[in-house]
Structure 1
Amino acid sequence: MYRRTLLALAAATMIVPPAHAAQPQPGEVLAEEQVFRYRLLDQFPTLDPQLNEEAAGSHVIRQLFEGLMNQDAQGNLVPGVAESFEASEGNTVYTFTLREDAAWSNGDPVTAQDFVNGWRRAADPATASPYAWYVELTSMENAAEIVAGEADPETLGVEAVDDRTLRVTLTQPLPFFPAMTTYATLFPVHAPTIEAHGDDWTAPENMVSNGAYTLESLTLNETFTLVKNPEYWDAENVIIERVEGYVINDENQALTRYEAGEFDMLEPLPAGSFPRLQQERPEEAISVPRLCSYYYAFNFRDGDDVPEALRDPNVRKALSYAVDRDVIVDQILQGGQEPAYNFTHWATAGFEMPEIPYAELTQAERDAEAQRLWEEAGSPDLELRLIYNTSDNHRQIATVISQMWKQKLGVETELSNSEWAIYLDQRREGGFDLARSAWCGDYNEASTFLDLVTTTHGSNDGKFSNAEVDELMVASKTAEDPQPNYSQVEQILYDEMAIVPIYHYSLAFLLDPSIKGFPRENVENNWYVKDFYRVADE
């Protein structure tokens, strides 16, 4: 299993460094212009590693900053700032050795203390990081107490032994801890820059970063530009000189602009367009598994203005049973997605898909059961408010599902869309009955999904709470084989119908054939432009 593979890796004293950055193949001729351009659906709210909580920002932050570990094209761990690590004391102490030539974009050396500063900052309640829970999830000593405001951030279980040695102490063995360091929350920060500029430290004129690129410009809701960082330790092997991002909310407009040659990568695609594009552009249209699950979150908050009927598991089950997922994936999306009846993505390493009862039924059988459950619940006169972020794909899915609920159960649904930042605020504050949601794995292990439904998880916006789920997930951290725990949690999610699973992602996208090095086998979709290069047109 993946956990055991990581355990074996953690027990080793060193990770063997791979080839550096981009590696053109023999016979390939590089293009004169080495620029990578891509489209974003939404404006990322922040480029602060410790304040980020979503995928669009993660992709940009990964180019600007570098953590202890990176991933290769298959998602395997490879050195980042750390050139090696070793685990000791039963995998509760990790010691990372930093490379001598790691530098910030202003020329300062990257030191172990820069990681200590970043990690303490993420856990500190004063920072108000939406991902503070992630630090707690690492099991670092005192992390939970610090996040709860009961301990000083300086007591976090991480220390700079010297400039090149970082020691991390955990409260329990966590064999996938090194994999967790690839996420932005655990990236280093340049403290003098934050001290000098405060909240404005991420502005292009102020930012000091340690990744392969630096931030040259940023126009909100329009564009941003990154340029190659000459101070990056592997700069001589970084081929792409410039990265340009374009924020375009409309999928169809984005496709038109891609087809006009304005950028090199387009994702997501307009719903239903993939089969046509695959025929018209077979070298460009790509679909690969993506470690994300799309679902609707119920609002379980006490005291919120939520219909009382939603407190009944049978009502929630009826709503989920009534969703024809085959219509969503086969008729609307058509990009290789899989119907979902559980939360954890089927491609998660080492995860065994549990037997979920309604997954085995025909849709006609599910519809009949939905109506039976609805009648058993008293056939409530239900009106729902479903929120989603602005996207034609989300709108189509919400419209079709609301029609299914209306036709099969008589439910009226108000659809409410908002731009990304407002939608995130609504979801956090509980301004919904159901909320369009998706979770993408922060690391490739089932707990990255199932921890989300624990009571204290910072991204549990629906506030589902089940004591048995909490206990099972705590116990899974030290279990030799956590799969039975994961199966039980998935069963509870079904019994309670804690969410409405809709589909497991694939990554369906367009990529210009001249761009090489994109990691199609990395199910976490963690890509590094430093590994890309553009070849000349034949």
Structure 2
Amino acid sequence: MQGMKVKALAAGISLLISGVAYAADVPAGVTLAEKQEIVWSLGGEVPTLDPTMTTDDSSSKVISDLFDGLVSEDQEGNIIPALATHWDISADGKTVTFYLRDGLRWSNGEPLTAHDVEYSFKRNADPASAAPYSWYLGTANILNAVDITDGKKDKETLGVKAVDDKTVQFSLTQPTPYFVKMLSHPSTFPVYRKAIEKYGDSWTSPDHIVSSGAYTLTNWVVNERIDLVRNPAYWNDAKTVINKAAYLAIENQTAEYNRYRTGEIDITATFPLEQYQQIKQERPDELLTMPSLATYYYLFNLDKKPFDDVRVRKALAYAIDRDVVTQRILGQGQIPAYGVTPPAVAGFDAPELPWASLSQKERNQKARELLKEAGYSKDNPLKFELVYNTNEAHKKLALAMLSMWKQSLPVEVDLANQEWKTFLQKLAQKDFSLARYAWVGDYNEASTFLSYFESKGMNYSRWANKAYDKAMADALAAKSDQERNHFYQEAERIFAEDMPAIPVYFYTKTVIKSPKVGGYSTTNASSNRYTRDLYIMK
């Protein structure tokens, strides 16, 4: 951790911060533009601006500008203090205490205290909130989180307690080496209780929202744009440079890229795939490709036939030629995926998986055999629907999947696209058979990818495997990183044997960025890029 001193104490471990404050780092010699405003493109509409309710990367991007957590990330992805200046970890690793900054205030000027942190975590765990990321608290091993989300205990028993206005203490069921990392996720950010209790679901409208981050919300036109301005009550406002930020919701990739070319958009990660090489040639200094913590899947619903049959799941997974996908269809440095965890994850060594070592011809043959064993043939083809959210790239890839499957297998596939909000609702309600999916790591550690598929995880597939759960529990209890990686590898092998989802490729992060935007990290494998770190040059 940069800027931190680690001091061993008799009672445990204390992390003491030496004047750390994240901020836009403007290099010497750079002349700033008089107008400090930036326009981001998010692709589709943002489903929510409520930190407790976020599940998607687009919402998290805006929320991370509006709200702050106990900790955050610097531009290299290292965990740094945010609302908290430092934290203590007890000798047994089961108590983590955070100490808040002096003078923290909400955007309306009211004090932000440890009681707000306690309220927000309990709101997340409360089944009445129906928070989609409540499972995350159980994965973090916060005391009683699983029983509360399962309706077995009251939310007030959650292991989060405001000791006083500036001190919040977490009680864990067991030591969790990546616990502090997990608190950089927006679902753990404090929210303003009075606004929620007064306005309900509409508390995030521009007229009602109260936030804690570098920016406040001034405008939200659904399916069009979101506008933010600097928050003078933000604890680190003196180090912020950008005064205004806008986010555009544009689902048509060609239209989005055209608006970038005309200067209306400063940063976009969405553009027509077929134009990648041309853009790379014409705008080499604007097209940025970097490592990413993300995996692209097709997710099975195991509660629906025919995907309750592992032979069917494996057949469809095997019959995809990932080299064609990554090299010919995408061609942006993506990596074929046969497992869950991307190679960019720190400290993870992937196991050797037997099906990954086969040639594509051998995989296709195995796929035909499995589907025949499951009772499917030309006279009785496998029929199912593949659903994806409205996006030209997802459609192009779905058509490629359909072509590959039909070349090798007796299948009849219907393709269906849905608007982003509807798509997320369908997933949450388990109202799908096979769905395009992606998982972006919540923190840089293998557990953020593998824990998704635990029985207690988010796990839209409804897969449950005791051996997988045990491997993950053993990983958590491991006494060394090497031992932990051994159990992560075992979890990967179990996943491959049961195939609750089809790993297709590991992402790279590719964006087109205006040359006038400074401070954008090209080395951080995390998806987090904060407006507060950026600046506009002349």
TM-score, normalization: structure 2?
0.95
Tell me the equivalent position of 1:430: 430
Pairwise mapping of residues 66-465 of structure 1 onto structure 2 (< 5 A)? 66-301=68-303, 304=304, 306-307=305-306, 310-380=307-377, 381-457=381-457, 459-465=458-464
Tell me the equivalent position of 1:474: 473
Per-residue deviation at 1:321?
1.3
Per-residue deviation at 1:27?
0.7
Cα deviation digits, residues 67-116 of structure 1 (max 9, x gap): 00010111101110001111113211111111103211011121111100
Distance 1:428 1:152, change over 3 A: same
Cα deviation digits, residues 298-349 of structure 1 (max 9, x gap): 1101xx4x23xx3332322221111011111111111111110111111111
Q: Distance in 2 between matches of 1:356 and 1:117?
A: 44
Per-residue deviation at 1:498?
1.9
Q: Distance in 2 between matches of 1:7 and 1:174?
A: 19
- Does structure 1 conserve the Cα–Cα contact (< 8 Å) formed by 2:229 and 2:243? yes
Q: Distance in 2 between matches of 1:365 and 1:425?
A: 38
- Does structure 2 conserve the Cα–Cα contact (< 8 Å) formed by 1:272 and 1:334? no
1:52 maps to a residue whose letter is T
Per-residue deviation at 1:8?
9.3
Per-residue deviation at 1:428?
2.3
1:432 maps to a residue whose letter is F
Tell me the equivalent position of 2:47: 45
Q: Distance in 1 between matches of 2:270 and 2:92?
A: 43
SS in 2 for 1:84: strand
SS in 1 for 2:52: coil
Q: Distance in 1 between matches of 2:427 and 2:193?
A: 32
- Does structure 1 conserve the Cα–Cα contact (< 8 Å) formed by 2:93 and 2:175? yes
- Does structure 1 conserve the Cα–Cα contact (< 8 Å) formed by 2:6 and 2:15? no
1:359 maps to a residue whose letter is A
Per-residue deviation at 1:369?
2.6
Per-residue deviation at 1:170?
0.7
Per-residue deviation at 1:165?
1.1
Per-residue deviation at 1:161?
1.2
Distance 1:24 1:318, change over 3 A: same
Q: Distance in 2 between matches of 1:318 and 1:241?
A: 53
Per-residue deviation at 1:526?
0.9
1:238 maps to a residue whose letter is T
Q: Distance in 2 between matches of 1:330 and 1:223?
A: 34
Cα deviation digits, residues 218-242 of structure 1 (max 9, x gap): 0000001000001111111110000
Cα deviation digits, residues 14-68 of structure 1 (max 9, x gap): 2334354112111100011101101111111111111111110000000000000
- Does structure 2 conserve the Cα–Cα contact (< 8 Å) formed by 1:272 and 1:331? no
Per-residue deviation at 1:158?
1.2
* Gapped regions of structure 2 (runs ≥ 5): none
Q: Distance in 1 between matches of 2:338 and 2:152?
A: 39
Tell me the equivalent position of 1:28: 30
- Does structure 2 conserve the Cα–Cα contact (< 8 Å) formed by 1:287 and 1:508? yes
Per-residue deviation at 1:247?
0.3
Tell me the equivalent position of 2:509: 507
Per-residue deviation at 1:411?
1.0
Per-residue deviation at 1:484?
1.7
Distance 1:120 1:330, change over 3 A: same
TM-score, normalization: structure 1?
0.95
SS in 2 for 1:345: coil
Number of matched residues? 526
- Does structure 2 conserve the Cα–Cα contact (< 8 Å) formed by 1:74 and 1:519? yes
Tell me the equivalent position of 1:485: 487
Percent of aligned pairs with the same amino acid: 40
Range with greater deviation from structure 2 (83-92 or 414-423): 83-92
Q: Distance in 2 between matches of 1:386 and 1:279?
A: 35
Cα deviation digits, residues 408-466 of structure 1 (max 9, x gap): 11211100100011111222223322110111111111111111111232x21111111
Per-residue deviation at 1:530?
0.6
Q: Distance in 2 between matches of 1:72 and 1:486?
A: 27
Q: Distance in 1 between matches of 2:285 and 2:213?
A: 30
SS in 2 for 1:464: coil
Q: Distance in 2 between matches of 1:174 and 1:461?
A: 24
Distance 1:150 1:315, change over 3 A: closer
Range with greater deviation from structure 2 (12-21 or 111-120): 12-21
Per-residue deviation at 1:7?
12
Per-residue deviation at 1:12?
3.7
Distance 1:8 1:186, change over 3 A: farther
Range with greater deviation from structure 2 (140-149 or 121-130): 140-149
SS in 2 for 1:471: helix
SS in 2 for 1:218: strand
Per-residue deviation at 1:199?
1.7
